[in-house]
Amino acid sequence: MINLKSDDNYEITGAQIRAARGLVRWSARELANAAAVGVATVSRAEVQDGRPSITTANLKAIQQALEHAGIEFIPTNGGGVGVRFRNP
């Protein structure tokens, strides 16, 4: 199992998933495979800007897959949520 890199209590948003997937240049299918969830789950998560209406387990699986690919999720810190590549 992959350990979470971001704050364990922070739930990522659909907008962050879209942005992160774009940064790593993954298709929805590639993210679904990496997270061991369905493509429909990824699509459903990405259409919402706020907290996606998917199970917490699936949301964490997506987050972990993207973090394993080098993404860092940035919670609201006065400038809004975001994503970036993690420092190597």
Could you read off the pLDDT of 38-65 as tens digits, one per residue?
999 999 999 988 899 999 999 999 999 9
CA-nearest of 41, 34, 27 to 68 is 34
Residue 8 is predicted with a pLDDT of 55
- Note the helical H segments in the chain: 14-24, 28-35, 39-46, 56-68
Domain 14-85 has CATH 1.10.260.40: yes
Mean pLDDT calculated for residue range 64-75: 96
Query: Hey, where are the domains in the chain?
Result: 14-85
Query: Which residues touch 83 (CB under 8 Å, ≥6 apart)?
Result: 16, 19, 20, 23, 71, 72, 73, 74
pLDDT at res. 9: 67
Q: Mapping DSSP to helix (H, G, I), strand (E, B) and coil, where does residue 84 land? A: strand
In the chain, the amino acid numbered 37 is V
